[in-house]
Structure 1
Amino acid sequence: MANFLLEVGTEELPADFVSSAIAQWQTKIPNSLSQEFLHPTGIEYYATPRRLAVLIKDLPTQQADRSEEIKGPPVAAAFKDGKPTKAAEGFARKQGVSLDAIAIRDTPKGEFIFIEKQIQGRSTIEILQELSPQWITGLEGKRFMRWGDGDLRFPRPIRWLVALWDEEILPLKLVNGSETIDSDRTSRGHRVLHPDLVTINQATDYVTTLRSAAVEVDSNVRKEKITAEILAQSEQLGGKAEIYPDLLAEVVNLVEYPTAVTGKFAEEFLNLPTEVITTVMVSHQRYFPVYKEEGGELNLLPNFITISNGDPEKKAVIAEGNGRVIRARLADAQFFYQADCDEHLETYVPQLETVTFQEQLGTMRDKVDRIIDTAKAIADQLEVTPEQYNEIESTALLCKADLVTQMVYEFPELQGIMGEKYALVSGESAEVAKGIFEHYLPRSADDQMPTTLNGQVVGLADRLDTLIGIFGIGMIPTGSSDPFALRRAANGIVNITWDGDLAINLNQLLQQGSTDFVSANGDKESPNEILQEFFIQRIRTLLQDEKNVDYDLVNAVLGEDDGEYTQRALDDLLDVRDRALFLQSIRQNGQLNAIYATINRSARLASQGELDTEILDPTGLINPELFEQSSEQDFYQALVDLLPQTQASQAERNYQLLVDALANIAPVVNSFFDGENSVLVMAENPDVKRNRLNLLGLLRNHARVLADFGAIVKG
């Protein structure tokens, strides 16, 4: 057994590529070794900004010898009149065996000829020489580059290779035009703390050897060290640092020998909104902010903690340098903030004419006008108070105004956040200001949801406008391509509606929005139909993936090619959610199984009749004079009694009432089918037959108030 070390030395790699490359190797390397019948006892991955490395432990010196069964042509093609054909001879010759080695085996597709071939194991070194370059050049990522006069592509130039088979150099070669990079045992230490070359004597010495050269190759160790130092230094300041997971993951891959350094800035900058200061710190400078709890609130301190890759002995110099940088950035932000606050937020609205939303859909000012109209339509559906209506209109008017402020121009990630701040400075109500911020929520799948009515309504209107417009000009997402994040927008509409229990009619909003789009763009077709299909797909996905509803129950509430259920779902998003969740609950408690057989049998037979699926009342439809058995009268009376219970279930959206009623009617229906006074549904008399099918159709229709039981798979 032997250990293999591969290190790829580079110029400083982007932090996101470092983590991505290791994740790719964690899949590629074990898979490729397994395909070569090599199974090490362990694989360790290491990475810093200047290197990617893997240590593969306890590899055999060569593959084990093995036998392999190889399938040839069908017997019908391999033999004719009991003699081998040219197909059989060619197969044997290609495999290097005699015709005597051929065996005949049965397969699901008939008889085929086979040979069992003995394969001698290859040298592991030879295999690693083939695989290692593939591991390097097979990495994928953004912003790859070429260097020198060659065609080799990598995020940054490759400068050295280390390849050791225990203590021996394993010869590897990367050719890039006129430049050849040969493997060796020589690595590089820290640029500042150990600029000399580093010799690695054997593969398992890798971590300790690099550590002695001021390079910590284990990213987990770097992460632990960074976290511990940040917490310790923030405690010394009398506060606590906020360690953002994404920022921590990034800085771990920006340094080889991390040192936490505390810096400060002038307290006068604390007059800026906290979000501005932390954006400068986190997004632009990669600093960790420090907070102190005072009076039950967390207040930002005029300090920051940065992670240095330099000389720890020069922490004071590093802190001062970083302090100068952030002070300059905060001074700019302070200027922008004061200049923006000099104007009322509404004065920025006309300037949105200078910002293009989409070439064919006009400016952001045009979009704001459409958002206002759609928000009003939603407010009308929700029957809001006059005061709420005015606040929604104000929120819609101002929701994009901060896009043309100096602060958001410089820091785009603050859109919405600054809109809220500037609205308050301009004297707008807290509800309007909060709505401006919240209309962007949720910004991702795990983000918070808007809590204010203004934020919910304007957020819905904004997303609806984007969807209708982009679909209308034909830019429909395909596969993984979704440049306008339309799937996220549609998911947002559904989730905002569900989270806020908003009784909106999405179908009506889509129809009106599509009509308005066609009026403004006469050469375009209405996107309404394709948007309906798109939303049904989104609802289906959200119910299954986020609400954990079984796929067949989702099909039951959305219908399978059933326009009635599609329209019902889009008319009332809350109802489709409630019905799906209710079905899941009664499946789990056994109530669904108790009524399933009766309803499903009735529905299958009813499909042979002509009764409209929306009819519930048996009065005037069923003719009691055609009854031949008492079970028919019992069935009819049960349906009469069922009607008010179904209507109450619909009115109150209490589907437990309906299920209880269906459970009560089940014995009556079973007697109709199989009891002592049972009947033959498909009677010879067409009037009797129609009467009985209508009885079953009515029961089916009552059940359809909840779901299409034909789509449910029996549990």
Structure 2
Amino acid sequence: MATFLLEVGTEELPADFIDEALEQWRSRIPQSLRDHYLNPEGVEFYGTPRRLAALVRGLPQRQPDQEEEIKGPPAQAAFKDGKPTKAAVGFAQKQGVDLASLEIRATEKGDFVFARRTVIGQPVAEILTQLVPGWITGLEGRRFMRWADGDLKFPRPIRWLVTLLDSEILPVSLVNGAQSCVSDRQSWGHRVLHPEPIQITHAEAYVRLLDNAAVLVDVEKRQTLIQQQIQEAAEQIGGVAVINPELLREVTNLVEFPTSVIGKFDAEFLELPPAVITTEMESHQRYFPVLAQADLTELLPYFITISNGDPEKAAIIATGNERVIRARLSDGKFFFDADRTHPLESYLPRLETVTFQADLGSVRAKVDRICQVAKQITTQLNVSDDKDIQRAALLCKADLVTQMVGEFPELQGVMGEKYARTSGESEAVATAIVEHYLPKGAGDKLPTTLPGQIVGLADRLDTLVSIFGLGMVPTGSSDPFALRRAATAIVNIIWAADLPLNLDQLIEQITADFAQNFAAVMKPSLEELRQQLQDFFWQRIRTLLQEDRRVDYDLVNAVLGENDQEYIERALKDLLDVRDRALFLQTIRNDRSLETIYETVNRSSRLATQGTLDTHSLDPTPLVRPALFQQPSEQAFYDALVQLVPQTQTAQAARNYRTLVNALAEIAPTVSNFFDGPQSVLVMDSDPDVRQNRLNLLGLLRNHARVLADFGAIVKSS
């Protein structure tokens, strides 16, 4: 068995491309080999800023021979009177088989001639030589470039290429205009610590030889080493490092031989908000901050950086980085001090100069809309004193035009909170300003205060209605205004805070206001806009419930329906109810009480679709005619439905669905007798009036069950 090495050497690659490229290779290279009947024992992938590599172990020296079956002409055309025609002779010659070996087989389209032949496997060296260029040029990503005078695109210029099958060089070349990159066994070590070329003698020696040249090619091992170095460095200065996973991954892909370096800054800068210091360190300098203790936010005047240089020059490297961070923090202190010379409210007029969206006006205009939507939310929630909420809504975007946020946009909200406090705003207002941006991403914490929740909802609802109103609906992966994330956040905030909001009513109010104020630029009709938003939120609710591992997929379908407008509107009118019904269905599935009503309700629901009864009526009195009853089982069914009405209405009003399930369980034997007992009836009677009367009985039972869920969507438990 052989080992194959592919290394693509480049100028320093963008850090994010390394992971992207290796992930693509992880799926494409093994599949490409399988497509050519090659099944290696394993494939390993490596990457550093200057190289991408794949090591394929356990390859055979050649492909296994393959038996092929080729379909030829119809039997009638290939043979006449039992003798082969020119069609048969030509087919056999083309396939390189004896005429006598042709077989006639029956197919769906009649009898056809088939030939079987053995395809001799190619040497693996030839196959790899053909495949490798496609593996390289097939990579996709952002910021691809051309260089020299060729058309070859890659994130950075390709400088060398290693292709070894064990110790044999495979002849692979990448043509780029007048230049070509021809494969060899020569690689390169670390730019500083080992600037000389390396001769890769054997594919299996690759990792060891690169390690000797101060290049750690294994991404995961390099990351583990970096994390360990950071933690040890923090312990040396009596602190605990803040290791942001995304920053750790980025730094891992910025170095080939990592060395931790401890730097220090003036303690006076600790007067700055910790968020300013950590943002400067992480986002701008790729430093790791150091805390006094893991469970506190108190920073120490140190930072840890990962160097790709000479470890013996660590002191010089530290000095250079200290000079940079001192300048950056000095700027931050200047911005912080300058911003605080004015109250936060004084920045509101400047928001007129910041455009939210060309057709929607300034951020200041958006703030006014946020205040209006916040008022509508507080009205629904019967909040008696909304002074803090309105104040937070007014000031929530004011920090966007401060010098600090202008320099560090990721601090929006964070600085608003700080400046609100120094301006004498209440604690509730200050907290709401920072919380209204939460959650910022998947897994992020949610706002915990009512003002923060309401302002956050108002901001996102305004954005959704406004952008949808312009006809800019997200399509595919294109979502420049992060509308999916906004809608998901709205649902999560409502669920987490148990806010009894009627989202459907809010959509109706906000869209009406939008139509009045932006009629000139509004693309869909008012009704279309509302329907689009309803569907959009319904999809988000469905996704969130499906991602909740506590709820089975079919139970999600049961509470939301499938393009069921009644269920869509019901979910939006009461998000808490749709969540609770899904969880309750899971509960009764787990305790098996669902089984007591499933068969009866499901059978009734299926048959009820043959009738004309609507899906919301509950009272049998005006819909069922007892005079048409032919069996006592029909009267018993009717009487049970009459008694069920108040129980269902009580359960619905109190959202006590256990009461409804118990009531349905009580009626189940009566319905079973209607179907299968000694007094059973044929539902689909030949008399249309009798048939509809019986279907109405079943439809009413279905409707009572629909108060909880669409039982037709529930899959029977095994």
Q: Report the TM-score, using the length of structure 2 for normalisation.
A: 0.94
Name the CA distance, whole Å, in 2 between partners of 1:90 and 1:536: 62
Structure 1 residues 111 and 396 mapped into 2: Cα distance closer, same or farther (>3 Å)?
farther
Does residue 535 of structure 1 match 2:537?
A: yes
Partner of 1:602: 604
Select between 107-116 and 63-72 the one with higher mean Cα deviation: 107-116
Partner of 1:517: 514
Does residue 413 of structure 1 match 2:415?
A: no
Does residue 38 of structure 1 match 2:49?
A: no
Let me know the Cα RMSD of the aligned residues.
2.2
Select between 682-691 and 279-288 the one with higher mean Cα deviation: 682-691
What's the CA shift string for 1:587-617, capped at 9, x where partnerless?
A: 3332223212211222334344444432223
Q: CA deviation at 1:464?
A: 1.2
Partner of 1:642: 644
Name the CA distance, whole Å, in 2 between partners of 1:38 and 1:710: 48
Does residue 4 of structure 1 match 2:4?
A: yes
2:595 to 593, 596, 600: 593
Partner of 1:149: 149
Structure 1 residues 597 and 322 mapped into 2: Cα distance closer, same or farther (>3 Å)?
same
Structure 1 residues 620 and 167 mapped into 2: Cα distance closer, same or farther (>3 Å)?
closer
Partner of 1:335: 334
Equivalent AA in structure 2 for residue 448 of structure 1:
K
Structure 1 residues 607 and 8 mapped into 2: Cα distance closer, same or farther (>3 Å)?
closer
Q: CA deviation at 1:423?
A: 1.4
Question: Partner of 1:104: helix, strand, or coil?
Answer: strand
Structure 1 residues 668 and 304 mapped into 2: Cα distance closer, same or farther (>3 Å)?
same
Partner of 2:206: 206
Partner of 1:66: 66
Partner of 1:499: 496
Equivalent AA in structure 2 for residue 450 of structure 1:
P
Q: CA deviation at 1:640?
A: 2.6
Name the CA distance, whole Å, in 2 between partners of 1:627 and 1:222: 80
Select between 620-629 and 51-60 the one with higher mean Cα deviation: 620-629
Structure 1 residues 83 and 367 mapped into 2: Cα distance closer, same or farther (>3 Å)?
farther
Name the CA distance, whole Å, in 2 between partners of 1:77 and 1:536: 60
Name the CA distance, whole Å, in 1 between partners of 2:598 and 2:430: 51
Name the CA distance, whole Å, in 2 between partners of 1:682 and 1:24: 58
Select between 502-511 and 560-569 the one with higher mean Cα deviation: 560-569
Question: Partner of 1:297: helix, strand, or coil?
Answer: coil
Select between 436-445 and 249-258 the one with higher mean Cα deviation: 436-445
Long gaps (5+) in structure 1: none
Select between 76-85 and 444-453 the one with higher mean Cα deviation: 76-85
Name the CA distance, whole Å, in 1 between partners of 2:109 and 2:367: 64
Which runs of structure 2 are paired with 1:288-687 in the superposition (5 Å)? Answer: 288-293=288-293, 297-386=296-385, 389-523=386-520, 524=522, 525-526=525-526, 527-546=529-548, 549-624=551-626, 626-682=628-684
Structure 1 residues 196 and 638 mapped into 2: Cα distance closer, same or farther (>3 Å)?
same
Structure 1 residues 87 and 540 mapped into 2: Cα distance closer, same or farther (>3 Å)?
farther
Does residue 131 of structure 1 match 2:128?
A: no
Equivalent AA in structure 2 for residue 254 of structure 1:
L
Name the CA distance, whole Å, in 2 between partners of 1:330 and 1:152: 43
Select between 403-412 and 688-697 the one with higher mean Cα deviation: 688-697
Does residue 281 of structure 1 match 2:285?
A: no
Structure 1 residues 75 and 655 mapped into 2: Cα distance closer, same or farther (>3 Å)?
farther
Equivalent AA in structure 1 for residue 670 of structure 2:
V
Retained in 1: the 8 A contact 2:438–2:445?
yes
Partner of 2:116: 116
Question: Partner of 1:293: helix, strand, or coil?
Answer: coil
Select between 254-263 and 115-124 the one with higher mean Cα deviation: 115-124
Structure 1 residues 697 and 316 mapped into 2: Cα distance closer, same or farther (>3 Å)?
same
Structure 1 residues 669 and 165 mapped into 2: Cα distance closer, same or farther (>3 Å)?
closer
Q: CA deviation at 1:703?
A: 1.1
Q: CA deviation at 1:266?
A: 0.3
Name the CA distance, whole Å, in 2 between partners of 1:454 and 1:106: 75
Name the CA distance, whole Å, in 2 between partners of 1:110 and 1:403: 75
Equivalent AA in structure 2 for residue 661 of structure 1:
A
Name the CA distance, whole Å, in 2 between partners of 1:116 and 1:52: 42
Name the CA distance, whole Å, in 1 between partners of 2:474 and 2:78: 51
Equivalent AA in structure 2 for residue 698 of structure 1:
L
Name the CA distance, whole Å, in 1 between partners of 2:557 and 2:475: 23
Partner of 2:226: 226
Partner of 2:173: 173
Name the CA distance, whole Å, in 1 between partners of 2:62 and 2:611: 73
Equivalent AA in structure 1 for residue 105 of structure 2:
R
Aligned length: 712
Question: Partner of 1:615: helix, strand, or coil?
Answer: coil
Name the CA distance, whole Å, in 1 between partners of 2:631 and 2:214: 94
| Percent identity between the two aligned chains | 64
Q: CA deviation at 1:299?
A: 1.4
Long gaps (5+) in structure 2: none
What's the CA shift string for 1:488-527, capped at 9, x where partnerless?
A: 1111111211121111111111111111111112242221
Name the CA distance, whole Å, in 1 between partners of 2:89 and 2:433: 78
Retained in 1: the 8 A contact 2:47–2:53?
yes
Select between 411-420 and 634-643 the one with higher mean Cα deviation: 634-643
Question: Partner of 1:279: helix, strand, or coil?
Answer: helix
Partner of 1:16: 16
Question: Partner of 1:231: helix, strand, or coil?
Answer: helix
Retained in 1: the 8 A contact 2:188–2:198?
yes
Question: Partner of 1:262: helix, strand, or coil?
Answer: strand
Retained in 1: the 8 A contact 2:374–2:454?
yes
Question: Partner of 1:194: helix, strand, or coil?
Answer: coil
What's the CA shift string for 1:43-100, capped at 9, x where partnerless?
A: 2222111111222223222222221223345557766776667765664444333443
Name the CA distance, whole Å, in 1 between partners of 2:79 and 2:580: 66
Q: CA deviation at 1:173?
A: 1.4
Select between 262-271 and 695-704 the one with higher mean Cα deviation: 695-704
Q: CA deviation at 1:3?
A: 2.0
Retained in 1: the 8 A contact 2:274–2:297?
no
Name the CA distance, whole Å, in 1 between partners of 2:342 and 2:83: 97
Q: CA deviation at 1:112?
A: 4.3
Select between 249-258 and 262-271 the one with higher mean Cα deviation: 249-258
Equivalent AA in structure 2 for residue 317 of structure 1:
I
Name the CA distance, whole Å, in 2 between partners of 1:90 and 1:381: 83
